[in-house]
Amino acid sequence: MVSYLAHHWGYPEIAVIALVIVAVHERGLRVLNARSTPNHARSRRRRMWLSYAGITVATLSVVSPLQYWSMEYFWVHMIQHVTVMLAAPALYVAGAPAMPLTFAVPVTTRRRLLRRVFLRPGRPLLRRIGAVVFSPLFAIIAFNAVMVVWMVPSVFNPVMGDPKLHVGLMLTSFFVSGLLFWLQFIPSRPWRPTLTPFARVGALLVTNLVMTIVAMSLSFLASGPFYDIGNSMLHMANMASMTPTTLNPFADQQIGAAILWVCGDFWCYPAIVMALRLATKNDANSTAMDKVLRGRHSMTVDEYRALAHDETVI
């Protein structure tokens, strides 16, 4: 067991990027806390630990031996799949990292960008793109589409044959779609979910149903393995005239399907309970940012000042 954990670490550049991202968040957090009350500073610091945990989980999914073994075993890939698509984005969003990221930008540049994006009348291109990308419909469709498309064998197999494509394309799409998805359910200042309680529950149930159908298609509805994974271990074993120790491909696929199925139920129902509980809280100011991004109105000076100075208008 120790050898499995001690070997096959890699991608140091990803670890460096993660450290830089944490440093950027930390800079913005210090700027915010310097102008906040001690209670607000402590609260914001506690929340940011969630975002740091999300960054850590996502980074370890790539730099640890999990990445190596995910290229050899489908069930390990599914652990990495649910970690990068569900756990890491949910933790990152829960930490409300948007404000620290904003305040990490130098004040002159920050004010110029905020004025350009939020105070300009009409619907600039950036606002139109934001209206689509951050909309609940786009986020939910994108999340489910990414999950389903990557499970298509003709798409899955070529990418799993190239570790760079696996990390740079597949895992990146998992994480980004997960961020957009969880923003629709987890308050992450200055954004809050805009879906109604019933819409949140419906979206979660539909997504869970899609995951269940995928898991069923890979397990007892399948008559054999769909994926060409783990061939490198078989090849090395054959070259050395050794008995391959790799798992039977069909059993490997069924175990992976079970992991997807169980994890789907594990995250869905607590998320439904959370969505219903959050729906009972006061959301009077929750749609200001959504209205601006959707171009329903230009941000007022008071709303702009609230964003620039971390007040409570949005």
pLDDT at 265: 72
Residue 214 included in any domain:
yes
Which pLDDT does position 232 carry in this prediction?
Answer: 45
How far apart CA 94 and CA 112 sit, in angstroms, is 28
Residue 172 belongs to some domain of the structure: yes
Global pTM value: 0.81
Q: What is the pLDDT of residue 131?
A: 81
**Region 129-138: what's the mean pLDDT?**
87
133-142, 155-164, 191-200, 223-232: segment of lowest average pLDDT: 223-232
Phi and psi of 178, rounded to 5°?
A: -65, -40
- Whether residue 194 lies inside any domain: the answer is yes
Query: Mean per-residue pLDDT for 204-226?
Result: 90
In a domain, 170, yes or no: yes
What confidence score (pLDDT) does residue 243 get?
Answer: 42
Partner residues linked to 191 by β-bridges:
188
88, part of any domain: yes
Q: What's the confidence (pLDDT) of residue 221? A: 85
Question: For 201-221, what is the mean pLDDT?
Answer: 90
Helix residue spans in 64-196 (DSSP H):
65-70, 74-82, 88-94, 98-103, 107-114, 125-133, 136-149, 153-160, 163-165, 172-182
Q: How many domains does the chain have?
A: 1
pLDDT in tens, 53-66: 999 999 999 999 99
**Residue bearing the bigger pLDDT, 50 or 302:** 50
Could you give the 3-state DSSP secondary structure of residue 188? strand
pLDDT tens figures, 73-129? 999 999 999 999 999 999 999 998 988 988 888 877 777 777 766 666 665 677 778
**pLDDT tens, 4-55?**
666 788 899 999 999 999 999 999 999 888 888 888 888 889 999 999 999 9
Model pLDDT, residue 240: 40
∠ Cα 50 52 57 (to 5°) = 95
Contact yes or no for 136/50 (Cβ under 8 A): no
> For residue 123, what are the domain limits?
10-309
Is residue 2 domain-resident? no
Which has more pLDDT, 217 or 314? Answer: 217
Answer whether 17's CB lies under 8 Å from 58's CB: no
* Model pLDDT for residues 219-269, shown as the tens digit of each residue: 888 888 898 876 544 443 343 443 444 678 888 999 999 998 888 777 777
**Residue 71 domain-assigned (yes or no):** yes
- Asked whether residue 4 is domain-assigned, the answer is no
